[in-house]
Amino acid sequence: MKNVRFILTLVMMVVMGGVVCAQDSVAVKKVEPKGKAIITVFAGLGMDVQSGVTKCGFVLDRSYVGYQYSLGHGVELKAVLDVGRLDSVNDYHYVAYLKNAQVSWKYKGLTLSGGMISTTQFNMQEKFWGYRYIYKSFQDQYKFGSSADLGLMVAYKFADWVSADVIMTNGEGYKKVQGDLGFQYGLGLTFMPVEGLSVRLYGGLNDATAEGKSDVYNYAAFVGYKCDRFSLGGEFAMMQNTKNVFGDDKLGCSVYGSIKAHKIVDVYARYDWLNSLNSDYAKKDEMAVIAGLQVKLGKYVKVAPNFRMAMPRVGGENKYMAYVSCFLGL
C-alpha cells in the first residue's frame, strides 16, 4: 500500500512538472486580466419544533467573501473566506476560515488546480442539487468528506461525454488543514452519454499513519438528469472505517428533484437516508425530507420557503422545521 501511495504522489508531481513545461511552449498572446468579486450570504427566518419545544428566529447561516482573478492564458487565481457558525463554539459565534486559496490552469481538455482547492468527492452532486443555501448536499451534511482541502487536482476531458479527475489532499478538510502525515487520494469518472444525463463514480482513500488506526475508504455514485422543465438526481455514498476506526462503516442515499413551475418559480423536494453500522454513530442516523418553493427576485436574490422533517432511525422524536431561506449573492 505504501508503494501505491508513493507512486500516486510521484505521478501528481510529474504531471505538475509537465504542465509547467507545456505552458512554456504555448504561444504567448497579450490578454487583458480581469476579475470579479465573490459575495454570497445565506440567511433566513426559521422555526424548529421538537419534543414540544419551539424555537424561532432569524438566522445567518453562512457568508462567502472573496475574489476571482483571471490572468489570461488559462491561469486563474481564487481566494474565498467562509464565515459561519460552529456548534462546537456556540450558535451565537461566527468563525472565519479560508475556504479557497488556489491557482488553476486550463489548457484544452486539461485542468490543474493547486492550493486550498474545492474537492471532487461531491462537487457535482452539490451543483446538481442546486439549493446549497437551503441545505447542504448529502455527503457534506452527513460528514462523508470535506468540500475543500489543501492539495492538488488534475482533471482531463477525453471527449464531450467522458472525463476523469485525480486529487491528492491532506485529508482533514479546510477547517483542519493538517492533523497528521497522511494524505487523501481520490479518483473520479464522469460520463455524459446524452444531453442532460450525468453519471459520476468516485473512489477515495485517506491513509492512516498512526499505529492502531485504519485507512478510510469512500465510495460514491451519482446519476442525474436535467432539462429546461425539471431535474431528477440520486446518489449513493459509503464510508468504511469512519474516523479511522476499523468496522465503523456508514452508508446512505439521497434523491432530489425540481420542477420549473414558472420562469421565476421552482418547486423542489429531497429525501435523505443514513445508516451506520456502529451503535455510537447510529444515534445520528435519520431519514430526512425537504420540500418547498424557490422564487427568484431578480439576478442576485432568491427566496425559498421550505418545510423539513428529520426522523431519527434509532430512538428520539421527529423534528419539524419551517424556514424561509434567502440567498443574496453576486
Distance CA 191, CA 204 (A): 18
Parse the chain into domains and list their residue ranges: 2-34+63-263
- Three-state SS for 243? helix
The CA-CA-CA angle for residues 181, 165, 246, to 5°, reads 45
Q: Per-residue pLDDT tens for 183-218?
A: 999 999 999 999 999 999 999 999 988 888 899 999
241: left (phi over 0), alpha (psi -120 to 50) or beta: left
Task: Give 314's pLDDT tier (boundaries 50, 70, 90).
Answer: confident
C-alpha dihedral (48, 54, 55, 56), degrees to nearest 10 = 80
Q: Per-residue pLDDT tens for 80-91?
A: 999 987 665 445
CA 95 to chain centre: 19
Please provide the DSSP assignment of 183-249 as one string: -EEEEEEEE--STTEEEEEEEEEE---STT---EEEEEEEEEEE-SSEEEEEEEEEEESGGG-TT--
Average pLDDT in the chain: 89
Q: 2-34+63-263, superfamily in CATH?
A: Porin (2.40.160.10)
Q: State pTM to two decimals.
A: 0.88
Task: Give 15's pLDDT tier (boundaries 50, 70, 90).
Answer: very low
Distance CA 56, CA 323 (A): 10
Distance CA 233, CA 226 (A): 8
Q: Per-residue pLDDT tens for 32-47?
A: 779 999 999 999 999 9
pLDDT at 91: 58
Distance CA 221, CA 201 (A): 5
The C-alpha cell that represents 326 in the structure block: 434567502
Matching residue, cell 421527529? 318
